[in-house]
Amino acid sequence: MLLWLLVAFILLSASAVLYLTYGPLRTASNVQLLRGIAAVQYAAALVLIAARLTGRA
C-alpha cells in the first residue's frame, strides 16, 4: 500500500513540474532541464509499477 502512495506522490510531483514548464515557467532558461526531471520521475514511477506488478517489490 505504501508503494502505491509513493507512486502517486511521484506522479503528482512530475505532473506539477510538467504543468509549470508548459505554464508559468515556459519562458525560463532551464525549462528543458525541468522537463527532463519530470521525465525521470515518470520513468521512476513506471519502474516501481512494473516491479510491483511482477512481484519484485
The pLDDT tens digits of the residues spanning 2-18 come to 999 999 999 999 999 99
DSSP 1-57: -HHHHHHHHHHHHHHHHHHHHHTTTTT-TTHHHHHHHHHHHHHHHHHHHHHHHHT--
The pLDDT tens digits of the residues spanning 28-37 come to 999 999 999 9
- What pTM, to 2 d.p., does this model score? 0.92
